[in-house]
Amino acid sequence: MDKNKKIKVLYFAGSGRSGSTILNIILGNHPQIFGGGELQNMCEVYNATKICSCQAPLINCKFWSSVMNDWLSKVDDDNIDSGLKKWGNVEGVFSLKSWLKMYFGIGQKSKEFKEYLNSTTEFYRSLQYHSNKEIVVDISKNPLRAWALEKNPNIDLRMVHLVRDGRAVAWSLKKNAKEQNRKRPTWRAAMFWVVINRLTNLVRSKVQHKIVVRYEDFIENPGIILKQIGLMSEVDFSSIINKIESNDDFVIEHVMAGNAIRKANTIKFQTSNSEGWKNKLRPGSKSLFKTLSFSSLKKFNYQ
């Protein structure tokens, strides 16, 4: 890889549970693209219970351990935790301080900020090197990370604001919480969905190359949406569109920290799974969600 060339990062921002794992896998089958998954969660590498999609525990996965060792050899940090703590200071999505600093450009000439930029750059370079792919897909979703990438002189950020109907997101969160014996009230899911999409709108206004994609539109018309993402990111997705049209398998490679789908070896593009919430989410939950997030639903053309 050319060290002087900017690293193209195709970054997905927005709410979780919006279908980014599927997009990560599908785009990762492009010959120039590595689908990295939720790259802000690299600390999972040291969580012994986390399995890579290659079926090895992440810590033993040949690919991820090579990436991490390479990255650590190029930055000043002694270990991954201290390196990732620096990421957290700049791009902590739940930290008002981080947002205010980014918004007003505070501390962006400091040594810490330069170290942060360097650390992020070296991380993506290691990914490019070990995957032997030029472009990295990052589905971290965190909009503040997108803003920080836009400020990085070594990164060529291409941002997709991925939106899915908030009621589908709420249903997915509820289902997941139930499996873990927790509760996820509708009002909380609605607030989360509204706030994260508004923050993503804000960041989108600061980014040069960007697009809004509704997950439902991608499922309905994958060819059209991939062409639009391709125009924005200057990548030719015709090979991927052909694969979808001929119902080919999409291979899943070394994906970490997405949802459970990544544990299969291959997937096929499926058209039918985006509407299940309509029958399953209770009517009371639906109307509460609509009341709490009416203007955001309308903004993204959800009825």
Instruction: Tell me which residues touch Zn ion (CB under 5 A).
Output: 52, 54, 61, 63, 254
The residue among 23 and 256 lying less far from Zn ion, judged by its C-beta, is: 256
> What are phi and psi for residue 62, nearest 5 degrees?
-60, -40
The residue among 100 and 251 lying less far from Zn ion, judged by its C-beta, is: 251
Angle in degrees, CA 30, 34, 39, rounded to 5: 145
**Residue 264 CB, nearest approach to Zn ion (Å):** 14
The residue among 30 and 254 lying less far from Zn ion, judged by its C-beta, is: 254
Report the Cα–Cα distance between both ends of the chain, in Å, rounded. 46
The residue among 53 and 197 lying less far from Zn ion, judged by its C-beta, is: 53
> What are phi and psi for residue 93, nearest 5 degrees?
-65, -25
For residues 63 and 130, the answer to whether their CB atoms sit within 8 Å is: yes
**d(Cα 229, Cα 222) in Å, to the nearest integer?**
10
Q: By CB neighbour count within 10 A (0-12 exposed, 13-18 middle, 19+ buried), where does 227 fall?
A: middle
* Overall residue count recorded for the chain in this entry: 303
Q: By CB neighbour count within 10 A (0-12 exposed, 13-18 middle, 19+ buried), where does 79 fall?
A: exposed
**Residue 129 CB, nearest approach to Zn ion (Å):** 16
What are the helix and strand counts (H, E) for the chain?
14, 7
For residues 37 and 24, the answer to whether their CB atoms sit within 8 Å is: yes
**Residue 54 CB, nearest approach to Zn ion (Å):** 3
**Residue 28 CB, nearest approach to Zn ion (Å):** 13
For residues 79 and 71, the answer to whether their CB atoms sit within 8 Å is: no
The residue among 33 and 163 lying less far from Zn ion, judged by its C-beta, is: 33
Residue 10 to residues 84, 99, 122, 167: CA-CA distances in angstroms? Answer: 21, 22, 17, 26
The residue among 42 and 170 lying less far from Zn ion, judged by its C-beta, is: 42
The residue among 68 and 160 lying less far from Zn ion, judged by its C-beta, is: 68
**Residue 16 CB, nearest approach to Zn ion (Å):** 22
**Residue 78 CB, nearest approach to Zn ion (Å):** 25
Amino acid at 62: K
**Residue 49 CB, nearest approach to Zn ion (Å):** 15
